[in-house]
Amino acid sequence: MKTLDQLLRASADPSQPLLTFYDMSTGERVELSTTTTANWVAKTSNFLVDDLDAEPGTRVRIGLPSHWLTAVWILSAWNVGAAVVDSGADIGLSGPELVGDEPHRVAASLRPLGGRFATAPEGFLDLGAEVPGHGDHFVALDPPEPSTVALDLDGARRTHADVLGQITPDSARRVVSPGTLGRDVELLVGACVGGGSLVIVASATPEQISRVAEQEGGRLG
Question: Cα(115)–Cα(22) distance, rounded to whole angstroms?
Answer: 16
Question: Cα(125)–Cα(106) distance, rounded to whole angstroms?
Answer: 5
CB 221 within 8 A of CB 173: no
What does the pLDDT read at residue 177?
97
What does the pLDDT read at residue 219?
96
pLDDT per residue as tens, the chain (221 positions): 999 999 999 888 999 999 999 999 999 999 999 999 999 999 999 999 999 999 999 999 999 999 999 999 999 999 999 999 999 999 999 999 999 999 999 999 999 989 999 999 999 999 999 999 999 999 999 999 999 999 999 999 999 999 999 999 999 999 999 999 999 999 999 999 999 999 999 999 999 999 999 999 999 98
147: closest CA among 163, 169, 125? 163
Range of the domain at 152: 4-220
CATH number, domain containing residue 111? 3.40.50.12780
Residue 163 CB: number of other CB atoms within 10 A?
19
Question: Cα(14)–Cα(60) distance, rounded to whole angstroms?
Answer: 27
Give the global pTM.
0.97
Q: Which residues partner with 28 through β-bridges?
A: 23
Q: Provide the domain count of the chain.
A: 1
What does the pLDDT read at residue 148?
98
What does the pLDDT read at residue 10?
84
What does the pLDDT read at residue 6?
97
Return the HEC string of the chain. Answer: CCCHHHHHHHCCCCCCEEEEEEECCCCEEEEEEHHHHHHHHHHHHHHHHHHHCCCCCCEEEEECCCCHHHHHHHHHHHHCCCEEECCCCCEEEECCCCCCCCCEEEECCCEHHHECCCCCCCCCEEHHHHCCCCCCCCCCCCCCCCCCEEEEECCEEEEHHHHHHHCCCCCCEEEECCCCHHHHHHHHHHHHHHCCEEEEEECCCHHHHHHHHHHHCCEEC
